[in-house]
Every structure is written in C-alpha cells, then in structure tokens.
Structure 1
Amino acid sequence: MKTHVFFKQIRLLLLILIPFAGLAQPPRGPFVISPKVNTDKSVTFSYLAPNAKTVLLGGSQFGQADVPMTKNAEGVWSVTVGPIKPDIYPYSFKVDGITVMDPANVAFFPNERFKASLVEVPSDAPAIYALKNVPHGSVTYEYYPSVEGSTGTVVVYTPSGYTKETAKKYPVYYLISGTTDTEETFWKVGKVNLMLDNMIAAGTAKPMIVVMPYGNPLAKIAEQTGKDKPSDVMNRDGEDALRRMKLFETDLVAHVIPYIEKNYRTLNNRDNRAIGGFSRGGGQTLRTAFNNVDKFAYVCSYASYIAPAEMDKSFTNITANPAKTNKDFKLLWSGIGTDDFLYKGTVEFEDYLKAKNINFKSYVTDGGHTWMNVKKYLNETLPVLFK
C-alpha cells in the first residue's frame, strides 16, 4: 500500500516538473553534420553561427588555410574542399577571428594548447592504421608516482593475447610524443594501437607493450602545485630545453620504467626495451638512450636530432668506441621528411654519425613535421623492433 502511494506521488511530481523542464531547455538550432567525407574524397565542413560575420576553415595540413565559408538561411556556414589525399588531418574554424574546434565532431587532437578537430579521409584500400577485423589489444590509462612528488600519467597498449596468455611476458616500446602533445597523441592521432593490431595479426610485428608517457613532467608539477604552466621552449638546443629533457629522462628511467615493470608482465632487460619519439620526444629519446645504453637496445628518432657540438660535449661514450656502440644498439633509426623544418639538423646529425662510424638506419620521406609522417615512421619501425 505504501509503495502504491509512493509511485502515485512520483507520477504527480513528474507531471508538475516536465513542463518546466521543457521551458528550461535552450533553443536548438538546426542539426549540423560535420565533417562529411564525400565519395570523391572531398570533405564538407559545417559550423552553426547565425550571428557571425565571417567563418573560415583552417586546414593547412591538407592545403586549405583560412578558406571562406558560406552561410545559409538557417545560420549554418559550410564549405566543401578537396578531393583530399587519404589520411588523418587536424582542422579548425576561425569565427570572427577566434579559432575554435568543430562542436559537431568528437574527434580531436590531444594537445597542451589548442585542441584541433580531426578528420579522417579513408583510402580505397585499407590504410595501415585502419580498424580491421583482427584481434585487438587494449589501451589503459595509468597514474604513477612521478618526479618531485607529482603524479604522472601514462597510456599503455597491451596486445590482444595479453589477458589470455597470463604467463607470457612481453618486450616494451617506450614511445614519446612531441612538443605540446600529450600522452594520448600516439594513440588518438598516430593510431599505434591499430597499426600494431594489424601487424601482429599479419605476423609482421612482434607482440609488444607500448608505453606512451607524457613528455612534459614540468607542466604536471606546475599544474599540481598551483603554478603557471611553463612556456614552450624556443631554443631546442638551449640550456632550458636540455634541463627539461633531463627531467623527463629522470622520470622515465627512475619512475615510469619501474612502475611498468612492477605492474605489467614485461621482459626486463635492454634487449627487450625500445625507445622512440617524435620531435621533442625524439630529442628526449636520443638523449635518454645515449645516457642509458644499459637500458635500451632499440632507438627510433622521428624527426629529431642532436647537434654535433652537443654530441662532442656530452656523448663521447657513444662516439669514442663505435664498435661497442654498434654492438650495443641493435637498431639506431632516424626518420625525417624533406619539407620538415628539422630536416637540415637531422641530416647534419646523420652525417656526424656516419663520420664517427656509428651504424644507423636512415629513412627519408616527403612531407613536413606532421603526424601524417609519424605514421610512416611507425610503419617502418614497428616491424623491426625486437627481431
């Protein structure tokens, strides 16, 4: 009897509140679909802004910078561009001079600063990072005790067999994103998880764990102590940049690796550890590997380098005995795009290694300092790790 009265009261309350809930809802504009990838590989971008005076499309990485958009009677601005070469690209809108993300799109570029939206233009044949009908690994977020009492964040990929073969241990690839990128970027933009799923299923890459740390522990410390986030480093080879790289090295070697090896089934020796990174992450890779030869046998530098002057000053342990270095590193890999602003420095670094008789694998592609090229670097290196 009491239950019956209770539900009558609930129904009465709902009848009273529903009209007011409807009144509280803000007015809704037209439903916007954006981006829309068309069959001819052109893409239609749309943005609802009935009161805006101008809306521009920003997609410089697919050749469309500040493209004017046209407003319809409902206040939706649109433009169709392309066809666009299949890949994954960042884009944004500039609304009356203010750069914004696409609110109709849930895919975005993880970054410390502005987070652009992402559009994927699929190829006719499945791309190397396509979602295929193969066994899939898992992606996990982890928190660990980091430098200066802070808490660090890391993203971990484990291959499909990890949860089933509970006695099996795996090699580990420590993979570091670039300047202002986050620990999510190699996953959400680089698609390393899907690439490895496909390669492992095809037998072209060994099953491995991939650990993706956040490359800016100084920012985490500032965030957790109520301080302002440190500004971006302007001089990549300057004293401040090197100090920050050393802090990351300390975090990786003293905190990240011990945490991973305690909490995951890993093969804990240098022959089963690889380190790689893009841009700033590539610089962190080279310096960490050269300072810790006892910990890494595979080293992959994606669009990065160390200047010859720094090599002569800080890394004579690498150049003094090239025969030992060539034996220590089973792979020293360097990749760069011909239009990359770091191309010249990377070539000088490779020429330096060659003059010092240090063995390395060089890969040169077209394109610039982009995550489109990063996926090419991954495609070249993932199959040769731990072989």
Structure 2
Amino acid sequence: MQLKLKPKINSEMHLTTVTRIVFTSIMLCLFFTGKAQPPKGPIVVSPQVLADKKVTFRYLAPTAREVKLAGGLFGASNVPMTKDSIGIWSVTVGPVRPDVYSYNFVVDGVSVMDPANEDFFPNERFKSSLFEVPGFTPMIHSIRNVPHGSVNYEYYPSVEGTTGTVVVYTPPGYDQDPSKKYPVFYLISGTTDTEETFFKAGRTNFILDNLIAEGKAKPMIVVMPYGNIEARVAHEKGDPTPPDPVRDSPDGLVRMRRFSDDLTKNVIPFLDKTYRTIANRDSRAIGGFSRGGGQTLRTSFWNMDQFAWICAYAANLPTSELDGTYSAITSNAEATNKQLKLLWVSVGNEDFMYNDVATFLNYLTAKKINYKSLVTGGGHNWPNVRTYLTETAQLLFK
C-alpha cells in the first residue's frame, strides 16, 4: 500500500507569500483605477455674490460655441457669457436687489441648470437653479440666529391606492413639549410646482422661524402638499403625465375637486393623526399661489366647515362660478363674514392675473364680503409670493 504524504507547509512562509500577493493585487488595482479615472477639471465657483451685490456666474464648457445667462427676474435675460482660456464661461451682472432668484444657462440653445450650484427650484419640468443676494440687513426669508423649526417629508395613503407626499414644517419647540398642540396652515404651490416649492423657493421655514422669533406670528404647523393629483397617479401607475387643463375649464374644475377631496379626506386626517394639531376649523388655514390659489378658494368654499382662514395669492374665482356654485356664500354676506376669520387676496400690478383678481375683489366689495388685500409691484413670481406669505402669516390664528 503506497502512502501519499502531504507536503509540510511552513505557516510563516505561507502567510508572508499571501501577504505579498494581496499587497501586489491592491497596488495593481490602485494603479489601474488611477489610470482609468479622467483628469480632474478646474473647480468652478458659481454663483459668486460679491460685496457690492454684483453676481458672477460661471459655467465650464470648453467645446460650447455660445453660453448665455437666463435670469430675467434680476435683469439678466439671455446675457452673453465670455469664455476664458480653459473653457470657463463667465459674466458679472448687477448690482442685484437683495432677494432669492432663479436662473439657468443656455448652452448652444439648450437650457441647463448650474452644475456648480446645489440649490434648485423644484418643478415638474425644467428645474432652474436658485441663489440668494443677502440684504444689507437680514431679510425675513434669510437664515438668522434664531430658534429653528423642523422640515419633514411625509407620505400618506391617497387616491386609487397611490401614495401622496407632503412637506411639513413644525415650529421651534415642537419636540420639547409633547402636550402642546398647534394650528395648521395648508399651503399649496402653483402649476408645475411640487410639494417642495414653498419650502425651497418660498423659504417658508425661515420666514416662519423669523416671524415667530420676533413675536409677529403664532407658532404653527405648515403643511405643503403636491397640487397635481393626476400627475402623481399617472407616475405611480407608469402612465404618461396628463397635460395641464385650461384654467377654470370643466376639466380644470374636476381636478380642483379631486384635489379638494384628497386634502380633506386623506391629508388632513393623516396630519391630525400624525402631528399634534388643533383639529378644528378655527385653527385651520389654507393658502396657495396661482393654481394653488384657485385650489385654496374652491377647497375652502366647498368646505366652509373645515377652514376659517383663506389666503389667495395671485388667484381668483370667476363671477359666474361665484353666482352659481357658491351663491350660498356670496348671497349672505353677514353669515359669511361671521364664518371667516380672514379672506386674503393679493396680486402684483404687473401679474397677468391682475385684471381677474381686481374683478374678484370688486365682486366681493359689491357683495359686502369682508376681505384684506395687498397689491404689490411686479408680476407672477416668487419674490412676490414670499411677501404675501410673510404678510398673511402674521394675521393667522390671532
């Protein structure tokens, strides 16, 4: 019988050999990984707000033939940019009036965000970039050294088995006293906006932080829902996004009703269950901009038992609808005035909605329905919306 003897292995020698193999493998990986990486390009700083309130924008595009800056709200509509020797295009504009603005670049005819800037304007379609020119004294929407609230993203069961989304602001101190309850402001963005727009572009959290710190606003919960139910349902089912309806059209009104039902039957019960809310109409406000303002007016008029505070930013209701659908509200001013703690309507004098809003206000005046209004300069834009939000937040729940 022949025995097969296994060779004796020197453990010290074996470990040394293995160590060398592993070390060599690591070095080879690092070498080839390094060889595979493209060279790093120049660091681009954009936008750069200068001390004199001028702003420099930069975009790296060595092979581009033409780059323009698009920022109409601060007077920079399709401004040509200049390319340097390493392919960075730049332009300096201003001085720019302190505020928060959106902008983008147009590269060889194609609109693009600023890749050097992480702040963007939430939108269903093209997302522009955002930047702030600070005021000479801190503005109401700027970060200040005050107690800050929290911003949470929440998901709730919605229509047709879909999942809805809301952004929720809770005021400073919310987590410190588990017995305290708060009034709620439901705040709705406009057409093509998302549930993030009042947060990121509207700066709702900073505005409320600052007003509460100054004692000008009551601590409140702010709930920011997504206004386009049809788009969300389509996305979750894998269907194409339906086109936006014509304002005040039959299809538009059907969608308004669907939003209203989702808010009152799904969002509000979810928020009242999840957060410490004061769950009655006297402690519940609703407001919105543009389409969100139309949703605000209709949702509140359809549900007068749910909301006592109404804030419409650049929005109206047609006279025919007021005389028809809401005749019980418009024909009895005394009862309506007792029900509503606030009916606010605001618009810019250059807004395309100005004439319609003016007609709406004249109608309310003729019907002796109490309201507060504010007409600002400017158009249908977020600098105005931040102003309207600041003014109305100081009136709510007082």
TM range, smaller chain? over 0.9
Matched with 2:151 is 139
Which of 232, 235, 245 is the aligned partner of 1:220?
232
CA separation in 2, counterparts of 1:11 and 1:363?
Answer: 72
CA separation in 2, counterparts of 1:43 and 1:241?
Answer: 41
CA separation in 2, counterparts of 1:24 and 1:142?
Answer: 42
Distance 1:310 1:8, change over 3 A: farther
CA separation in 2, counterparts of 1:32 and 1:292?
Answer: 52
Which of 300, 307, 315 is the aligned partner of 2:318?
307
Are 1:277 and 2:303 counterparts? no
Q: Counterparts in 2 of 1:12-161, with a 5 A limit? A: 12-161=24-173
Matched with 1:286 is 297
Greater Cα radius of gyration, structure 1 or 2: 2
Matched with 2:10 is none
SS of match in other structure, 1:39: coil
Matched with 1:296 is 307
Q: Alpha-carbon deviation of 1:64?
A: 1.0
Distance 1:19 1:313, change over 3 A: same
TM-score normalised per structure 2: 0.94
Matched with 2:391 is 380
Distance 1:8 1:207, change over 3 A: farther
CA separation in 2, counterparts of 1:268 and 1:135?
Answer: 26
Deviations 1:238-261 (A, max 9, x none): 111111111110110010000000
Matched with 1:207 is 219
Matched with 2:209 is 197
- Partner amino acid, structure 2, of 1:48: L
Matched with 2:278 is 267
Equivalent residue pairs, number: 386
TM-score normalised per structure 1: 0.97
Q: Alpha-carbon deviation of 1:319?
A: 0.8
Matched with 2:250 is 239
Q: Alpha-carbon deviation of 1:24?
A: 2.0
Q: Alpha-carbon deviation of 1:136?
A: 0.6
Structural RMSD (CA): 1.6
Q: Counterparts in 2 of 1:352-367, with a 5 A limit? A: 352-367=363-378
Matched with 2:346 is 335
SS of match in other structure, 2:111: strand
Are 1:181 and 2:166 counterparts? no
CA separation in 2, counterparts of 1:377 and 1:3?
Answer: 73
Q: Mind listing any 5+ residue stretches in structure 2 that lack a counterpart?
A: 1-12
Matched with 1:249 is 260
Q: Alpha-carbon deviation of 1:4?
A: 9.7
Q: Name which of structure 1's ranges 238-247 and 101-110 shifts more when overlaid on structure 2.
A: 238-247
Q: Mind listing any 5+ residue stretches in structure 1 that lack a counterpart?
A: none
- Partner amino acid, structure 2, of 1:148: E
Distance 1:84 1:13, change over 3 A: same
Q: Alpha-carbon deviation of 1:379?
A: 1.1
Identical counterparts, % of pairs: 58
CA separation in 2, counterparts of 1:204 and 1:33?
Answer: 37
